[in-house]
Chains A and B, each alone.
Chain A
Amino acid sequence: MQYAPTKGIKAHMKSRLFYKIFGTYLVIIVLSMAIVGFLVGKEVKNKLMEKIEYDLITYARMINLTSPKKEIEKKVVQLARISNARITLIDTAGKVLADSEKDISTMDNHLNRPEIQEAKVLDKGTATRFSHTLGVDMFYVALPVKSDSMAIGYIRLARPLVEIKNSVRKLYGLIFQSFIIILILSFMIAFIFFSRLTSPIQEMEQFTKRLREGEDPGTLMIDSSDEMGRLAMNINYMVMELQERVRSANEEKGKLEAAFASMTDGVLVLDSQDKIEASNEAFKDIFGVKYRDIIGKTPVEAFRNIELQNALDRFRETRVPVSQEVTLGDGEQIILDINVSSIHGLPNGEEKTMVVFHDFTRLKKLEKMRVDFVANITHEIKTPLTAILGFIETLQEGAIEEKETARKFLETIYRHAGRLNRLVEDLLTISDIELGEMKFFFESVSLSGLVENVLPVIESKAVEKGLVIDKNIPEELSPIRADRDRLAQILLNVLDNAVKFTPESGKVSITAFDDKKGYVIVSISDTGVGVPEDEIPRLGERFYRVDKARSRELGGTGLGLSIVKHLMIAHKGRIEIKSRLGRGTTVSLSFPVFEGEGNV
């Protein structure tokens, strides 16, 4: 990642790390400069002093002290001008004989001056001190003036130290200048070094930030083989490994979630506090809109079902998986086989509970239908058979002798046998349809013609009961696609029912119209007893009777509507029943309109 330079500098200036680096430099520079300055200054000072001393001694020797006094004085002034020094002549008693700058009459005895004392003993004396006479720091050199190896006086040369001081100050000035230059240079070096050090660190920082925020961080590119480079490489490996682990964890989770979601059984997960934590799609499919806002509730709050709660409580006490049949919901009931078990192996040792709902409402219904069917068929067959056997027994026991009675009995036997026969025929029809063995010959059928053929069969019964049959079928109605015989069977069955269940002096009407959507709808209405609304859906069930006693009394097998239903399905038609208790029933049959030739 690149930084804008201005931003970089500002960032650098703010960085504490930068000041640490620069501070270290500063300390080293100051220390070394101070030491160098001190040593060099001292050395320079010494060298200068030595040089001055040497100069002055040289000048001193130029004076011939044996010359007459007046000349000497002249010479002193002359020499002082050349040597740029103050020259003083002193006799052995310390009296000043001559001075290049001062009036000798104002000068005191100079014998106890350190340089003179030193010269007296060592032939040469030097001193640095403040001259009260001139009011400045001075460097003094004194030499004895000899005549035949006997000191006759002293010559003293003095130069102000301002010169040396100025030189040293100049030197320090130079050192300070170089200090400033080095400072600036070191600042720049520190800056460059800092940038080189921190740019990979900042890159890593950005990298880890991206990683933390869940973006794809890419690969960390640090072009360096030092510790930074190795660190970057390690980070890259670490990230790769981390991503791999996250990926495999996600994959694992995804698999589990997919399994959870695509299970056909509903699943609920309860947390350790028994609150519903999650449910899967199948659960929602089973219950539809019922029990929607269940997440976060306890099962008793969500379902308020005693069987379910008991199963959960039993599981809680025993910790043994519980399997139980539970009926949920009022009105439309859902029969479920539930399994309560615990979920093991969770992190933190949490104990969760899983409830699996297996919906077998349909299965249960089918099972009930099967049981009902067997019970019904047994009953249906048994009733006429008992009658037949009873009458035959009576005949055998001698009733056969009585002609009139015997004839009656035989008639009854014939009637029951007929009913038995009808029952078996109906059953065969149904089983043929269900097994798909019934052959249909679909052709174009004119409804009005067919109804003309069918009605006479029913009419005699209707007339007997004093019923009016009202027929209203337009001649121009489109022909329908149907099997002629089966269609007749359908209409006969429905009409028979209508006549059967309509009390005397009622009315049965048959009408038909084209719905213009490819169907012809035949409606058969009666003013009969009707069917309770909640029983209408069950009318197509085999042996289902609204009023068992009455239906049997009327000679029905309980299979009529079931056959109609099956035949309608085979005709790709629909059957719709509307009824009001005590007012009558309307059965609407929709047949597809015949379109073109060919049998299907």
Chain B
Amino acid sequence: MEEKKLTSTHYERELREVKKNLIYLGALAEKAIHDATTSLLERNSDLAHEVIAGDDQINKLDVEIEEKCIRLLALRQPAARDLRFIATAIKINGHLERIGDMAVNIAKRALILNKEPQLKPYIDLPRMADITRGMIRESLDALINEDCDLANKVRRDDEMVDNLNDQIFRELLTFMMEDHRTIHRAILITQISKNLERVSDHAESIADMVIYMVTGKSVRHQISDEKHEK
């Protein structure tokens, strides 16, 4: 017992450290998207600057987690659940880093939009932002609690975001056709909407990885396949 404890502590500590860092990265990405969308909706340019500056930390942590995972794989040869966790962590890590990049993209566009008068009151965009934030939050909750039900909910929610993205595009198209002066702003907003849609895809991928981590079964591309069939 005592001996086992001694030999496993170091490994366990490293594993815990990876998990902690991964969740911390998740928190950073979640906050980045939250702040980026808020900076747009509340026309708060300071917040947008913060998001852009904060991406450095996300990138650093991304590299750090990946190194730690590879170290663990190389030195400890983990098996079964631990192996799945590390493999999952490497992939989720990548998705979170991309979410951070999306947040920067949104913040940059928000900075430009905030300098110009608001094109129209945002209605669908806040809803889309809300759902996307919720998806990131829930995918991370699912990761922490190893909750497959929640992960499946995240995977289903992605469709709503896709629909909202299409809707926003159609609406802005009418604005652009009516008044060419709105084209610049409208394009920026469609880009933001597209970025949010990408974020929700990343959240969905994280949920997929959580299901893989817990059950060992790969469910990737299944929902999108169903959609194609429809």
- Whether, in the assembled complex, A146 has its beta carbon less than 8 Å from a beta carbon of chain B, the answer is no
In the A-B complex, the 6 residue pairs with the smallest Cβ-Cβ separation, listed nearest first, are: A304-B27, A301-B144, A300-B23, A306-B27, A300-B20, A300-B24
- Is A304 in contact with B133, judged by CB distance below 8 angstroms? no
- Whether, in the assembled complex, B30 has its beta carbon less than 8 Å from a beta carbon of chain A, the answer is yes
Tell me which residues across on chain B come within 8 A of A83, comparing CB atoms: none
- Is A306 in contact with B145, judged by CB distance below 8 angstroms? no
* Residue in B closest to A302 when the chains form the complex, CB atoms: B144
A142 to chain B, nearest CB (A): 93
Q: A residues bordering B, Cβ < 8 Å?
A: 273, 293, 297-298, 300-301, 304-306, 309, 330
- Is B34 in contact with A304, judged by CB distance below 8 angstroms? no
- Is A304 in contact with B140, judged by CB distance below 8 angstroms? yes
Question: CA separation between A101 and B125, bound complex, in Å?
Answer: 148
Residue from B19, B24, B133 whose CB has the most chain A CB atoms within 10 Å: B24
Interface residues on B, range: 10 to 19
- Chain A residues touching B, majority SS: loop
Total contacts A-B at CB 8 Å: 29
B207 to chain A, nearest CB (A): 16
Query: Which of A273, A293, A300, A306 is B31 in contact with, Cβ under 8 Å?
Result: A306
- Whether, in the assembled complex, B26 has its beta carbon less than 8 Å from a beta carbon of chain A, the answer is yes
Tell me which residues across on chain A come within 8 A of B27, comparing CB atoms: 300, 304-306, 309
- Whether, in the assembled complex, B198 has its beta carbon less than 8 Å from a beta carbon of chain A, the answer is no
- Is A297 in contact with B144, judged by CB distance below 8 angstroms? yes
- Is A330 in contact with B23, judged by CB distance below 8 angstroms? no
Query: Which of B20, B30, B34, B140 is A298 in contact with, Cβ under 8 Å?
Result: B20
- Whether, in the assembled complex, B28 has its beta carbon less than 8 Å from a beta carbon of chain A, the answer is yes
- Whether, in the assembled complex, B137 has its beta carbon less than 8 Å from a beta carbon of chain A, the answer is yes
* Residue in A closest to B31 when the chains form the complex, CB atoms: A306
Tell me which residues across on chain A come within 8 A of B34, comparing CB atoms: 330
Question: CA separation between A273 and B137, bound complex, in Å?
Answer: 25
Q: B8-34 vs A: 1/0 string, CB under 8 Å?
A: 000000001001100110111011001
* Residue in A closest to B144 when the chains form the complex, CB atoms: A301
A-B contacts, 16 of them at CB < 8 A, read A273-B16, A298-B16, A298-B20, A300-B23, A300-B27, A301-B19, A301-B144, A304-B26, A304-B27, A304-B140, A305-B27, A306-B24, A306-B27, A306-B28, A306-B31, A309-B27
* Residue in B closest to A304 when the chains form the complex, CB atoms: B27
Query: Which of B24, B137, B144 is A309 in contact with, Cβ under 8 Å?
Result: B24
Tell me which residues across on chain B come within 8 A of A273, comparing CB atoms: 16
* Residue in A closest to B27 when the chains form the complex, CB atoms: A304
- Is A304 in contact with B23, judged by CB distance below 8 angstroms? yes
Question: CA separation between A300 and B30, bound complex, in Å?
Answer: 13
* Residue in B closest to A306 when the chains form the complex, CB atoms: B27
Q: In the complex, given contacts A300-B24, A304-B144, A330-B34, what are 4 additional A-B residue pairs having Cβ atoms less than 8 angstroms apart?
A: A300-B23, A301-B19, A301-B144, A330-B137
A309 to chain B, nearest CB (A): 6
Which residues from 55 to 107 on chain B have a C-beta closer than 8 Å to any C-beta of chain A? Answer: none
